[in-house]
Chains A and B, each alone.
Chain A
Amino acid sequence: MKLLHHTRRPIWIYATVVLLLSIPAYYLVLRTVWLADIDEDLVVIKHKVQRGIHAGQPSEEALAEAIRWINAIEAGVQLRALPPDSVVEERFHTVERYDDLHGHEEPFRTYESMIVLNGSPYAITVTRVIEETEDLVTAIAIVALVSLVLLLGGVMVFDHVTARRIWAPFHRLLDALKRFQVDGPMPFKATPTGVTEFDELERVVEQLTQRNRTIYAEQQRFTENAAHELRTPIALLQGKVESLFQTSDLTTEQAGLLDEANRLLGRMRRTHDGLLMLAHVDNMPVRPDVTCDPRAIVRSLLDHTQEHIASLGLSVSFEMGLPVQWPMEPGMAEILLGNLVNNAIRHSVPGGSIRIRLSGTLFTIANNGTDKPLDPESLFKRFSGSGKGLGLGLAIAQRVCERQGWSLRYVFEGGMHGFSVQPSTAG
């Protein structure tokens, strides 16, 4: 979940709850106020009727006549004589009733009370259609609701736009860091954002990457110098040993010792070369824009090792599939495939077979060797070989894949030890 969502979610939830609660609350409050208003009116009408009749001081007959008239015109006031000493509780209520005027059921607000006319109690019912008022309340509630939704929505939109603007430098920095390569040609450069926090972050990142670049360059220089300084004495030593071989009075014992020294020198040279190769792989820039043809590389590797393979009595099959390009620098691909091919040759049993396959971009190489599967954990570690080699080949191959973001897997299937290289589409 994005950081923005973390801050927005509680706000959204709160706003929605308030909005949902406010709709009935708004309606109820408005309706209550309106009804109270109407009820007040009804009471006023009652008082007007009472006062009006009092003012006329009518006779009993005139009063009866007036009440008959009032009831007959159905103007919302009904009077009914009550037995003496009756008491009527005041009460307001709403009823649904057929209305002649509108021709359908309408809600009516009714006020029931009692008045005393000429000393006699009368029940009075004041009634009023409240349909229009209901409509009004609804309309007002809707307008209020729409405003509220607009307000809230507006706030969200503005918040989103502002957040995007504010976070833009962050995303820019993230992109720059993704592209950053410690051995790349371009160092990371801080760009002013106008936001104090981001400016500081950019500055810190710039310093950090600059330091990394410096350390990396120094390491590379050291490796190269060390490689050169080691090669020369090894070369001198080898020259001496090989010159000693040419001396005429060499005894068998001395020759044996020299031969051993020569082999050790060879091992030293190969270890040195292997370590240097690892350093090289680290040094080689990853260039996703460069491609190579793995089929051609494998073919040339097999050409070079042909005699060695033949002399070991190995049978090699190469299913090369359709033409394909790998998004990898050819030098890197040669190192990767070369180490895998050499590894397969070294560990195959005499008269065994090596199967190489390219299907799509997937490369697999398998050889029959020991019957048991190997430990995939230690397989790729440096100097963890079976004693047959230096144990650097697979480490180098894996490093190439790591640098490229590809995967190199070990599979043991049908008695065959296999390695598969799956190039990632991203390069």
Chain B
Amino acid sequence: MDRGTLSGVMNVLIVEDERSLADDMKAYLDGSGTRCAIAGSVRDALDRILDNPFDCVVLDLNLPDGNGLDVLRELKRMGRTDGVVIVSAKDALDDRLEGLRIGADDYIVKPFHLAELAVRIQATVRRAHFAGHDRLHFDELEIDLPAHTAIVHGVPVPLTPTEFRLLRLLTASRDRVLPRSVISDHLAGDTDDDRAQELVYAHMKNLKRKLSEAGCADRIRTVHGVGYRFTTQA
């Protein structure tokens, strides 16, 4: 239902040799219509992509038996359209450019917030599958991603760009707790500015007010002492 017009489950392949991190990623992304598989090596990843297509491949570059870019090259060689988000502990610009040149959709540098990964995956998959007609549906609430608008009971709700980004982050991590620090990093970039966290509070208050005034159910819940959670079941 919440996956809009995309039928079935979103399949994500996590190619990551640090098993512990892969498990955390899987635990975070799994559920709410997403199903993750894990591959710990280039060979393992190639086996899995041969078996079936994925909506998105989360690709670590430093793998024990080779470079993750080889998996990307193989995907492109096969003419596959699986979305690819590169994850690397190296932030060398060359790697990033090479990945994007070969055809990766996005690039994220370790360490990253799981919520940030979720929103990148969502953007990648949605861009690939719904050129221009991409809406998330949560009963009375619709989110038009390309148009950057929220619609409640069929009526557009005017949101500022920051409020829309907030909403998109929340829905990408729906039913998950989003700590304030994670939200502020997403909005203001990875900043050490303490004011950014206070601003999260202000923006969130405005977003909640606008949605509730438009008649939207109370979906954005405050998690005391931590942050916020977007619930799909109002």
Instruction: Give A residues with C-beta under 8 Å from B.
Output: 224, 227-228, 231-232, 234-240, 242-243, 245-246, 250, 252-253, 255-256, 258-259, 262-263, 265-267, 269-270, 273, 276, 304-305, 307-308, 310-312, 331, 342, 345-346, 350, 388-390
Contacts and interface: CB of A to CB of B under 8 A. Distances in A.
Contact of A235 (B21, B190, B225): B21
B24 interface: yes
Contacts of A270: 190, 192
Contacts, number: 124
B63 to A, nearest CB: 13
Which residue among B18, B24, B109, B115 has the maximum number of chain A CB atoms within 10 Å of its CB?
Answer: B24
Nearest to B25: A239
B6 interface: no
B177 interface: yes
Given A255-B223, A307-B187, A231 B24 contact: no
Interface residues of B, number: 47
Which residue among B165, B192, B202 has the maximum number of chain A CB atoms within 10 Å of its CB?
Answer: B192
Given A266-B192, A307-B161, A259 B111 contact: no
Contact of B179 (A237, A245, A311, A345): A245
Contact of B190 (A227, A259, A263, A269): A269
5 contacts: A238-B112, A259-B181, A276-B91, A389-B192, A390-B192
B225 A265 contact: no
B67 interface: no
Contacts of A242: 24, 28, 113-115, 179, 182
Contacts of A276: 91
A388 B181 CA distance: 16
Contact of B226 (A224, A259, A311, A331): A259
B78 interface: no
Contact of B225 (A237, A239, A259, A273): A259
B43 interface: no
B128 interface: no
B108 to A, nearest CB: 10
A360 B115 CA distance: 44
Contacts of A232: 18, 89, 110
Contacts of A346: 191-193
A151 B182 CA distance: 87
Contacts of A243: 24, 27-28, 114
B221 to A, nearest CB: 14
B189 A308 contact: yes
B114 A228 contact: no
Contacts of B181: 259, 262-263, 266
B203 interface: yes
A255 B226 contact: yes
Contacts of B195: 312, 350
